[in-house]
Structure 1
């Protein structure tokens, strides 16, 4: 293309390119801001260089007509088209750039799958009405999507609005305050640094607001004050630092609102998050710290296989147990064992015993009638071994009743000349404790009502001995 064929604004851009100077067309009249995409393409792919100068395309406030088609192109200079308006979607499929910026620009869409950028990719403050296709892109530096608005409210595009699946980012992914009207997809993405979604608004009611299965992050994933209407799917993510959803709002009524299953995460924070609208799934995940208050959980949760080292904030066992009652799959033994372990790890043995007792009671409801009856008896007498003081109280009470009763109605001696002196306390104790022989039970035989009392003490003693033994055995095996 000859320079004589260029408009005035195009000639300014052409001449500034060789020196890498920036051209701002903000003060030009509307027609003076027009740049043809073919001119920009000719500049980027031509040999318009000057010795001793570093070329670069730096243009502000232009209106680009026609399609900027750089598919498979290798551009060895920085490109910055800031606050520009594109009439057609740029075609950057398979292109390679040193650095690429569309900061503040307005586009109908962006087609840049398998893009390669040696430096940073900047789409901050962009307004894109259609999809942003960056699947398979390789960005050596950071990606900036801060305050970008993608998609149109209430319009279903038929494909994810933000496509970052299998993207590789060598630094951080900045998407602070991003607004996405549709699905944001990061399936299989790999970000060496952090992913920052603080104050983001992801709006896709009834669908996936954020689809980030098997996302790998080198440090943290931040989404403080994030608002998600639709499902946030983080199945299989790997985040060695923290996933921080403090103050975030999740809403997907009738479906799953937050899924962090089969994930390996250093810390998961939902500090002061409002009550989640929709199901929460944390199954089979591994976490060092889980920070979420019971009131933030919805009515339906899936926690089977969840493993955590520390649970925060510290709450009474009764509040945490109410959450386990919401388990969608019913009785899940592992959830109780994990909660008891967490309490025991911080030294709250009383809370751990409360959780273990609640587990036995929940398990009892799943047993046959005869097993439930035996369970009720163990619960009533010794609290399944977790309330040993209760058993001691029962024994002391029965011992007192037996001592008073036999003192008032002394049993007759079977062999008066050989029988030891009668002792009401020792006699009642001999009846109650089946493994103790004080010589009183064999030497004396009560009559009438006292005989029925003796039978009751013997039966009660065996029941207590069996239940206490079962409880102690369960406690010792658990330790």
Structure 2
């Protein structure tokens, strides 16, 4: 395969391609691609030469052709728009003077490891194997919107974007919107200065952002609306400055934000509304700086200590099956009181249901009582007064022992009062012997009739006391029976 006009180094690359041989500059002396601006012709290849080689090159007889360059500078713009390249291409520690344009390209496998690229325009690219930008420094945008990658996408230890110089909205540094990746997105220790856009993307495997450092303060740092992941999204020890948006995401296994630091103090730090998530883990995470919005999501397990949640949350419509770690209701109720929507009955019902599922009916009643007290704050003054009365006497029906205490106190009061002041018999000579204890018990207990109440008729203040005992008996006895019924139904 002849091609005149090549430099000696380009001729070396041209001759190695049909055999799939590595071409590595041997005198690199530990230099990195970021220092490659000074690399001369002795280790440079023109982009047009690479283009002709990949489009027109052929393998040698019995060989597997591939382009494998290391420690090389690529001058000019590599333009492979709409090209079909049936070979594997590997750039390692290479420097590109201009951002390659790979729009709508189809290629077997593509690797930019430890490289320096001003940017990468590869929207709607199709890769039949793995796409890799591991450890690469790319200050501009990586455009992969609509890409189809049959293997995994590796960007571990990559460094994308540049520090923000103003507060203006800017294009995402990594665009994977509506991309389809048939394996994992593997990005531990990824560093970005700008937005990652995953809106509408489908990842068949897992997404790994462990130890990633992502920054786009006061703006969206991860836009993953309607993201679909086949298994886990792990972001252990993630440091994110800016809003994480998971609205409508479907992640059937685990979203792991263990030991993460999420910060967006002037806005929403985590938005996971209308999501379907198997497990949300925030174990040992730092307190979130900014608000959290989980409205309308369905989550199987939420593992988060109450102190992780910020001062502002939105939980209306959130459903979950269980909470970890196991804690009494008090600390978790404090989180519900931070809801920006004020009193949200659904949030209290969900928390009570979670305690009932693990058989802790006592804590479920604590939650229900707190719900009634929170609801009381929204009522008019006379309804508040009645609510305070219910709370003090029977704990809105969720304190049956308190009702029993009132019953015993009223029983003692009635026994003493009527023991000192016997009521007159209704029919003298026919009435049974008066018993102050049984008479008071007859007044207090609805339905049950010992014959004393009908046989004696008090007058004046003692009659009003009888009315009070009858009314209180109905309220208190009903509360006690309801408590007993709940206990029996649990068994």
2:434 is aligned with 1:422: yes
Deviation at 1:258, TM superposition (A): 0.5
2:74 is aligned with 1:61: no
2 CA distance for matches of 1:48 and 1:181? 41
1:122-172 alpha-carbon deviations (Å, 9 max, x no partner): 001010011000000000000000000001112468211110001110111
2:318 is aligned with 1:303: no
**Residues 431 and 454 in structure 1, CA contact (< 8 A), matched pair in contact too:** no
1 CA distance for matches of 2:476 and 2:346? 24
Distance 1:216 1:160, change over 3 A: same
2:76 is aligned with 1:89: no
Aligned to 1:125: 135
Aligned to 2:31: none
Deviation at 1:72, TM superposition (A): 0.5
**Residues 245 and 270 in structure 1, CA contact (< 8 A), matched pair in contact too:** yes
Aligned to 1:395: 407
- Which of 405, 409, 414 lines up with 2:417 in the alignment? 405
- Which of 104, 110, 122 lines up with 1:100 in the alignment? 110
**Residues 434 and 462 in structure 1, CA contact (< 8 A), matched pair in contact too:** no
2:473 is aligned with 1:461: no
For 1:318-329, list aligned pairs within 5 A. 318-329=330-341
Aligned to 1:206: 218
Deviation at 1:440, TM superposition (A): 3.0
Structure 1 stretch 361-370 or stretch 30-39: which is displaced more? 361-370
2 CA distance for matches of 1:376 and 1:98? 73
1:296-324 alpha-carbon deviations (Å, 9 max, x no partner): 00011111111111111111011111111
Aligned to 1:359: 371
1:34-61 alpha-carbon deviations (Å, 9 max, x no partner): 1111111111111343211111110001
**Residues 292 and 310 in structure 2, CA contact (< 8 A), matched pair in contact too:** yes
Structure 1 stretch 81-90 or stretch 424-433: which is displaced more? 424-433
1 CA distance for matches of 2:408 and 2:463? 16
- Which of 30, 36, 51 lines up with 1:41 in the alignment? 51
2 CA distance for matches of 1:394 and 1:471? 11
**Residues 105 and 126 in structure 1, CA contact (< 8 A), matched pair in contact too:** yes
RMSD: 2.1
Aligned to 1:291: 303
2:9 is aligned with 1:17: no
Unaligned runs of at least 5 residues, structure 1:
none
Deviation at 1:23, TM superposition (A): 0.5
Distance 1:186 1:476, change over 3 A: farther
Deviation at 1:439, TM superposition (A): 3.6
Structure 1 stretch 391-400 or stretch 173-182: which is displaced more? 391-400
Aligned to 1:431: 443
1:166-192 alpha-carbon deviations (Å, 9 max, x no partner): 111011110111111010100000011
**Residues 424 and 456 in structure 2, CA contact (< 8 A), matched pair in contact too:** yes
Deviation at 1:469, TM superposition (A): 3.7
2 CA distance for matches of 1:50 and 1:228? 49
1 CA distance for matches of 2:145 and 2:483? 55
- Which of 179, 182, 186 lines up with 1:167 in the alignment? 179
1 CA distance for matches of 2:94 and 2:171? 25
For 1:242-391, list aligned pairs within 5 A. 242-391=254-403
Unaligned runs of at least 5 residues, structure 2:
29-37
Aligned to 2:86: 76
Deviation at 1:386, TM superposition (A): 1.3
- Which of 227, 237, 254 lines up with 2:239 in the alignment? 227
2 CA distance for matches of 1:443 and 1:288? 61
User: TM-score under structure 2 normalisation?
Assistant: 0.92
Aligned to 1:6: 6
User: TM-score under structure 1 normalisation?
Assistant: 0.94
2 CA distance for matches of 1:313 and 1:255? 27
**Residues 243 and 269 in structure 1, CA contact (< 8 A), matched pair in contact too:** yes
Distance 1:426 1:468, change over 3 A: closer
2 CA distance for matches of 1:91 and 1:218? 30
Deviation at 1:207, TM superposition (A): 0.4
Pairs aligned (count): 476
**Residues 130 and 151 in structure 1, CA contact (< 8 A), matched pair in contact too:** yes
2 CA distance for matches of 1:258 and 1:56? 44
2:120 is aligned with 1:110: yes
Deviation at 1:419, TM superposition (A): 2.5
SS at match of 1:266: strand
